[in-house]
Amino acid sequence: MSTTALSGSNIGGNGAKLGAVAEEIPRYGLAVVLAYLGLMKFTSYEANAIVGLVENSPLLSWTYSIFSARALSGLIGTVELGIASLLFIGGRFPKVRLVGSAAAVGTFALTLTFLLSTPGVFEPTLGGFPALVRDAGTVLDQGHRPIRGRTWDLRPCPSGMAARSRRVEVGPKG
């Protein structure tokens, strides 16, 4: 039995390149979403929409004693834009990608805590399941899929920050 690394030469010319591009698409997609959400935080509409979430959060409720709703929303927007920038830049710089991915995981994990702290999230008419959209503009479930995607960037890499090689077994088991 031999082990062969997948490369463009043994899977049709562009397979390795296609695989590398496919790995990058979710990160850039998430960066676009974070940039959009970050820019939205600078609007009064979004600042008002997050008030109920932040007021009921044991992790963030104290922030309104320091900042106004608009100022806190702008601060959150700035952080989200910073994380989006790290994710965009991370395509060229693996260490930056690691920091951006870790920050994105933290951001979305914090967002998921709103499910536990916001009153009225668990909807009786849905059998006690969370109502992920409470009202127009307030989406509570923006967390689990992006966390899964960004933890991919946090996985160990045996050769440091070098590109990972995929291996397949070729030949009969014996």
Query: Is residue 56 assigned to a domain?
Result: yes
pLDDT in tens, 21-31: 777 888 888 89
Q: Is the pLDDT at 104 greater than 70, yes or no?
A: yes
The structure tokens listed for 86 are: 């790290």
Q: What pTM, to 2 d.p., does this model score?
A: 0.67
**For the packed helices 94-117 and 15-40, what is the interaxial angle rounded to 10 degrees?**
50
Distances from the Cα of 68 to the Cαs of 49, 71, 78, 112, 119, in angstroms?
14, 5, 15, 23, 22
| Three-state SS at 11 | coil
Query: Is residue 53 assigned to a domain?
Result: yes
Rama region for 50: left / alpha / beta (φ>0; ψ in -120 to 50; rest): alpha
Say how far apart CA 154 and CA 102 lie, in whole Å.
Answer: 7
Say how far apart CA 158 and CA 150 lie, in whole Å.
Answer: 18
The total number of structural domains in the chain stands at: 1
pLDDT for 72 equals: 97
Token pair 């693996």 is found at: 94
User: Which residues form the domain of 82?
Assistant: 32-162
Query: Is residue 90 assigned to a domain?
Result: yes
Query: Is residue 58 assigned to a domain?
Result: yes
Query: Is residue 2 assigned to a domain?
Result: no
Query: Is residue 135 assigned to a domain?
Result: yes
The per-residue pLDDT of the chain, averaged, comes to 75
Query: Is residue 77 assigned to a domain?
Result: yes
Neighbours of 151 (CB within 10 A): 13
Distances from the Cα of 147 to the Cαs of 17, 34, 150, in angstroms?
25, 13, 5
Query: Is residue 168 assigned to a domain?
Result: no
